[in-house]
Amino acid sequence: MTQHTPDDLWRDFPKTATEFEKRFATEEDCRAYWIEARWGGKPACARCGSTRVWTIREGTTLECAECDHQTSLTAGTVLEKTHKPLKMWFRAVFEISTRRTGISAMDLMRIMGFGSYRTAWTWLHKLRAALVRPEREPLGPFVQMDEALVGGKGGPHKELVLVAAEAGGRVRLAHAATNDKATLKRFADGQVAPDACVMTDGLASYDADSLGKRPHEAKVQTKAERRENDAVQGCHWTISLLKRWLLGTHAGAVAPKHLQAYLDEYAFRHNRRRTNGVGRIAARVIEQLVRRQPLTMRSLIDDTRPCRWFRKPELSA
């Protein structure tokens, strides 16, 4: 049996609103795509694995011919227990994928006609969790590292964000409690190739303890020198665009405990800014909605998991 890869799926994903309306005109169209993304077109029983299944309850549930077990199409996925049609979810996926700067909960509420901000917010968080995935390829071969304070619109409270940026390339962002050597080391080890050349400003925490054997140049610059030739310009640009995005798209309404999710979305969009990838992004989101475990309301609101960049590195590459 040939398995369809996500690559087959995204090539086929609509890129314009008109194409989208046509391709996903009915709930059945969306279910067919969902079954393709989840089971490679061959749905199987969740209990015994048999592919002798048929759909019941207006297509929302599979029943197994071998063991009678019933499986909802969305059980065990991020969309588990959703009361809304897949068609609405697909529409929301399309909206966040086609807008280069993403979308706010207010925008989504208007577009989808939701009665409450809370519903829109919850949807957006589920989609945001699906939008990003851990990127395993570390940055290199020339990487700038810096840190900045972000947020605290009108107030004194600001959050520390660590930045690593390839010259003209990809970025990684991490919400951190401090910029001590141990924290910088975990960030560098997780995100920067062990043989990358690292450029930083004069902050003393960037040294052999935090950066290991990576060749390192620390440049102490005056404002005038920085204007002339900023040694960590990629980081400074990233931070200024990030701040503009948080204030623009999200009106600065980001709670510290959710900041990492926004940083991940920002980095995801930034790192794909040159690919004309509406289909690729949308297909990726649906693939992640299918594959990831359900997120409960509690886990969304009380998300106290440590920043994922700082978790123990997984052994499987």
Footprint on this chain of Zn ion (rule: CB under 5 A): 45, 47-48, 50, 64, 66-67, 69
Tell the smallest beta-carbon distance from residue 70 to Zn ion (Å).
9
Cα–Cα distance between 294 and 308 in angstroms, integer? 18
Whichever of 64 and 283 has its CB closer to Zn ion, that residue is 64
Tell the smallest beta-carbon distance from residue 82 to Zn ion (Å).
23
Whichever of 67 and 220 has its CB closer to Zn ion, that residue is 67
Whichever of 40 and 252 has its CB closer to Zn ion, that residue is 40
Tell the smallest beta-carbon distance from residue 65 to Zn ion (Å).
8
Tell the smallest beta-carbon distance from residue 151 to Zn ion (Å).
50
Whichever of 26 and 50 has its CB closer to Zn ion, that residue is 50
Tell the smallest beta-carbon distance from residue 291 to Zn ion (Å).
21
Sign of CA dihedral 299, 303, 307, 311: negative
Amino acid occupying residue 235: C
Whichever of 45 and 188 has its CB closer to Zn ion, that residue is 45
Tell the smallest beta-carbon distance from residue 66 to Zn ion (Å).
5
Whichever of 51 and 179 has its CB closer to Zn ion, that residue is 51
Tell the smallest beta-carbon distance from residue 71 to Zn ion (Å).
8
Tell the smallest beta-carbon distance from residue 56 to Zn ion (Å).
13
Distances (CA, A) of 140 to 188, 243, 268, 272: 11, 25, 17, 17
Distances (CA, A) of 129 to 45, 48, 198, 261: 27, 30, 30, 7
Q: Provide CB contacts within 8 A for 192, sequence distance 6+.
A: 138, 139, 140, 143, 145, 164, 198, 214
Is the distance from CB of 164 to CB of 188 less than 8 angstroms?
Answer: yes
**Is residue 229 exposed (0-12), middle (13-18) or buried (19+ Cβ within 10 Å)?**
exposed
In degrees rounded to 5, what are phi and psi of residue 261? -60, -40
Whichever of 14 and 43 has its CB closer to Zn ion, that residue is 43
What end-to-end distance do the CA atoms of the chain give, in Å?
26
Whichever of 48 and 56 has its CB closer to Zn ion, that residue is 48
